[in-house]
Homo-oligomer: A and B are copies of this chain.
Amino acid sequence: MTTTTTTSADRPGARVLDHPDRSAIRLEDVLHALADPMRLRIVRRLAAAQGELSCTVIELPVSKSTCTHHYRVLREHGVISQIYRGTAKMNVLRRADLDELFPGLIERVLKAAELQDERLDA
């Protein structure tokens, strides 16, 4: 197998993840990213944490592969940024970028989600 070869090869910049530039973030994509219940949940947790959170600490009722998928959608659409920290992968909401592009949007979405929670299960 090429197993060990691959492992040592990517030492210098090891495991880099692609993030869209701020200028490449599109409103439709952000809305789409936020429109999924699992992803909205992730974003809410990240917003509440006001910092980085690993994938594992955000518990979701879906499989590991599905989690990976949702985090990737969020990252590729510019909603979060991800970096590897040891064996874990940390996630951060791209709050500054989003606020600059779409002032107040994230804040309103988060508030709306809260209000809906109160309205429905409270």
Contact = CB atoms under 8 A, between A and B. Distances in A.
Contact of A32 (B26, B32, B115): B32
Per DSSP, chain A at the interface is helix
B28 A112 contact: no
A28 B40 CA distance: 8
A85 interface: no
A7 to B, nearest CB: 40
How many chain copies does the complex carry?
2
Contacts of A111: 102-104
Interface residues of A, number: 26
B27 A116 contact: yes
A48 interface: no
A97 to B, nearest CB: 13
A58 interface: no
Given A31-B32, A101-B115, A103-B108, 4 more contacts: A28-B36, A35-B35, A101-B119, A104-B104
Interface of A: 23, 26-29, 31-32, 34-37, 40, 101-105, 107-109, 111-113, 115-116, 119
25 contacts: A23-B119, A27-B40, A27-B109, A27-B116, A28-B36, A28-B37, A28-B40, A29-B35, A31-B32, A31-B34, A31-B35, A31-B40, A32-B32, A35-B35, A101-B116, A102-B111, A102-B116, A103-B111, A103-B112, A104-B104, A104-B108, A105-B109, A105-B112, A107-B108, A108-B108
